[in-house]
Amino acid sequence: MDITFLGTGAGRPVSGRNVTSSALRLPAARGTFWLFDCGEGTQHQLMKTSHKLSRLERIFITHLHGDHTFGLPGLLSSRAFSGGTTPVTVYGPKGIKQLIEMSLSLTQTNLEYELHIEEIEEEGIIFEDEQFTVTAAELEHRVPCFGYRIVEKPVSGKLNAIKLQGLGVKPGPVYGRLKQGLDAELPDGRMVYANEVKGPSIPGRVITILGDTSPCENTVLLGVGADLLVHEATFAADLPDKAVEFGHSTTIHAAEAAVRAGAKKLVITHFSSRYRQEDLEQLADEARVLFPETLAATDLLTVPIPRIVEPRE
């Protein structure tokens, strides 16, 4: 898994920095990706990556401000011309359904795939399948705004082939049962217990992607133990009052949330147009004073999210 930042600017695009969007690549076996926010120009940014619109599965919108949504109608329309036939689901605050349906209706855009739109009415789990759970919680901004916590479910441990060979277990139906975590009886009546021939399960990854926010408790709750926390840092450390006035955060606010959450890595993004590209490393350094594992996102930066496997005892 990895995340590519398609736009890292706040409010409006500037030279070298598009407005907010990021693409989360899911495990290779799934072969799809999710999009978080869709500011103007997102589809143009996607064309500079290896992501294909036909492989887009879900879109999570944090809030309805234009720098997070103006790219939606064009992107959804282009997907229909890019071979996309599988369903797409869009999640977002109340109003996202009207925004999308009105845009598509007025432009007489007909999609060749199923589009589902789910407005988030309350905090909690908004999506779950056999591989992931996504939880949404409201943040502190000028309009309703959500942050998302993506939790990958644990992967079953591998069978110990040497131990099974020693027990005289050959590949076949018994292997299948044990792989599912089920005990199995051998033809001679002996029992083979799954927990004795399987390695420990491998924990899943946790990715937290926040929308625009001033400091609040949900930035911490959503980020608890996250392998990667994506937190806005619209302003530098010397502008805390201005940040909070407009419902935003500083570099220090982001770092404080990461520390309190016990996150493993912090990526700051959503930078005000007052900051040039050459200023971003200084912004990251401000956060590193409190949280050393900090990166400042740049457009088209891809950050790997490796699975952390605890060593066996």
List, by residue number, the catalytic residues: 67
Q: Work out the angle at residue 14's Cα, subtended by the Cα atoms of residues 35 and 100, and round it to the nearest 5 degrees.
A: 40
Residue positions forming the annotated binding site for Zn(2+): 63, 65, 67-68, 141, 212, 270
Q: Please state the length of the chain.
A: 313
Nearest to 299 by CA among 38, 21, 11: 21
Per-residue CA distances from 54 to 75, 78, 113, 196 (Å): 11, 10, 10, 43
Annotated binding-site residue numbers:
63, 65, 67-68, 141, 212, 270
* Radius of gyration in angstroms for the set of CA atoms belonging to the chain, rounded to a whole number: 22
DSSP secondary structure letters along 115-158: EEEEE--SSEEEEE-SSEEEEEEE-BSSS--EEEEEEEPPBPPP
Report which secondary-structure segment, H or E, holds 280. helix 280-288
Which residues does residue 312 pair with via DSSP β-bridges, in sequence order? none
Residue 59 CB burial class (10 angstroms; 0-12, 13-18, ≥19)? buried
- CB-CB contact of 75 with 38 (8 Å): yes
Residue type, 110: N
Structure tokens that stand for 227 in this block: 């392998």
Q: Which two tokens stand for residue 117?
A: 């739109």
For residues 66 and 92, give the distance between their C-alpha atoms in angstroms, rounded to a whole number: 13
